[in-house]
Amino acid sequence: MSLRDQFRNAFAVDKPGAAEPNERQAEICDVVCRAVVRRGMLVPALMALEMSRPLNFVASQALHFFHPIISVILDGPTIEEFATFLEQRGSVEYLCQRLEHWDRVGPDAEEPEPTLSPEETQDQSTDDEPRP
């Protein structure tokens, strides 16, 4: 293996945009975001997230470091899942989007079934004729 092959992915980064959490991570994020919105702390939370965007990996490592102390309040697997999610580059963007979503619909609203956007509904036309 050549030196070039060894360094090919050495500095690879994730794609820009929001991270894609797994089902458990999304559930944890929604619990956190609902609690923030319910307490009326949306603006300070968004400001803190935006200011700390470059440090999200450091924050995830801090959660791992303080795991023994935090586990007195929260269960261990939840802390580990949330910290693992924060390690992803787009996690702050995802949290900001979920905070804004729960602020729009209200923290006590039920999560509706995902609806298709207007572009997706146009792509799924029922007629059999080809589109120009």
Instruction: Give the pLDDT confidence of 29-66 residue by residue, as tens digits.
Output: 999 899 999 999 999 999 999 998 888 888 889 988 99
What's the confidence (pLDDT) of residue 17?
A: 63
Helix (H, G, I), strand (E, B) or coil at 20: coil
- Higher local confidence (pLDDT), 112 or 106: 106
Closest CA to 93 of 16, 33, 31, 1: 16
**How many CA within 13 A on the CB side of residue 91?**
24
Residue 125 pLDDT greater than 80, yes or no: no
47: its two tokens: 């400001």
Cβ-based neighbour number of residue 98 at 10 Å? 20
What's the confidence (pLDDT) of residue 98?
A: 93
Domain ranges of the chain: 21-104
Tokens 């102390």 belong to 69
Q: At 17, which amino acid appears? A: G
Residue 7 pLDDT greater than 90, yes or no: no
What's the confidence (pLDDT) of residue 19?
A: 76
99/96 Cα distance (integer angstroms): 5
- Higher local confidence (pLDDT), 103 or 5: 103
Mean pLDDT, rounded, of the chain: 79
What's the pTM? 0.69
